[in-house]
Structure 1
Amino acid sequence: MNLDDLFVPADPEVMERERLKAKELKRSAWWKSQIGRGVCHYCGSRVHPSELTMDHVVPVIRGGRSARDNLVPACQACNREKRCLSSSQWRIRVEEKRAAGGEGRS
């Protein structure tokens, strides 16, 4: 059994507070600089900055915070596929896709 599968979701009030912080950070010069590079943190794809989304490396539902060290720009495909997976679950999924010869995201 994988411990990542046995998580208790974060408190809804905490999650809402973190999402509000993320909205504030989206307006910051720091975030504009992050997306201005036009590169997805996970797969390295170059996309237009307007197509990048803000992803919590450690998802808010898993207790992640809306802080600079936990937020990365992600293309919509990676963000949608990662959902609320932990970092270790995401790495396993990427490795499985690569081993199967599928599209790899890192």
Structure 2
Amino acid sequence: MDDELYGKRRDDSKITFLGYVLIVVQAIWVAVRWTSLKVLDISLWLILSFTENQRAVRPTIRVTFSKDQRAAIARSQRYKCMYCGVRLTSDNLQIDHMDPVSRGGSNDDGNLQALCRRCNIRKGNHTDDEFRERYWDLIGGVKRPPPQTIPQSYFDEIMRSTDAHEGVQEANRNRHATPKQRVERALPIPLLAWPVVFLLIGAYMFESFAVQVTMFGIVFGIAFAAGLWFRARHIGIFEE
């Protein structure tokens, strides 16, 4: 590498030039384009970052766990999320570090816990103690799954509670509504729309059977809304 062209090196493994990170691994220089973040040497898949007159950051390493490890951790918690108590399945089970790796946490079993996808997102980069302190009234300080499942909608409502104006809170509730809340809010639409449609059809096309047609519309609307509700429940939307 030409030092006159790329400037003085900061250490033996990485330098920066015009904001681009250049990292040498086993004497192979790897350059990254800022526009695409594409590694030019495909044999070295590293997650790199763009810097502006700063020292190059270390590549991000994603921790993976075997199927047996995930099952053992979930089994120790009786297949319940540590925070909300929802039943863990292969679709929503995620392994979380109580003390995040980015903040010095280890991969030891004592630092691992099983969470549902939504609670893992809620916790983010907080430690377990920080998260429990913030939502003490909801999940307490005992590090075990709650005896009764905490509804996801209620958990989200507590997280969104602020001192903001009621209009701002309502906008945030609508924007961050859970899938279950969206389904429940949409149910009145078919309940009201179908009877009105059949009432108009009966009034203009079947005047003598307007009442019967309207009753059919009411029954059809109820059946349609019930079908939407049972379908959402069957595919697991209410548990998200």
| TM-score, normalising length: structure 2 | 0.30
Query: Structure 1, unaligned stretches of length 5 or more?
Result: 1-10
Is the alpha carbon distance of 1:58 and 1:64 closer, same or farther for their aligned partners in structure 2, counting shifts above 3 Å? same
Bigger share in helix: 1
Tell which structure's C-alpha radius of gyration is larger. 2
Is the alpha carbon distance of 1:68 and 1:55 closer, same or farther for their aligned partners in structure 2, counting shifts above 3 Å? same
1:55 aligns with 2:96: yes
| TM-score, normalising length: structure 1 | 0.62
3-state SS of 2:94 partner: strand
Q: Could you say which residue in structure 2 is the equivalent of 1:45?
A: 86
3-state SS of 1:49 partner: coil
Count how many residue pairs are aligned between Structure 1 and Structure 2: 84
**1:59 and 1:84 in contact (8 A); partners too:** yes
3-state SS of 2:80 partner: coil
Aligned counterparts, 1:10-49, within 5 A? 12=58, 16=61, 19=62, 22-23=63-64, 26-27=65-66, 29-36=68-75, 37-49=78-90
Q: Give distance in 2, aligned partners of 1:87 and 1:35.
A: 17
Q: Could you say which residue in structure 2 is the equivalent of 1:72?
A: 113
Identity of aligned residues (%): 27
Q: CA RMSD in A?
A: 2.6
1:85 aligns with 2:126: yes
**2:74 and 2:88 in contact (8 A); partners too:** no
Q: Select the structure with the greater relative contact order (CA < 8 A; seq sep ≥ 6).
A: 1
3-state SS of 2:81 partner: coil
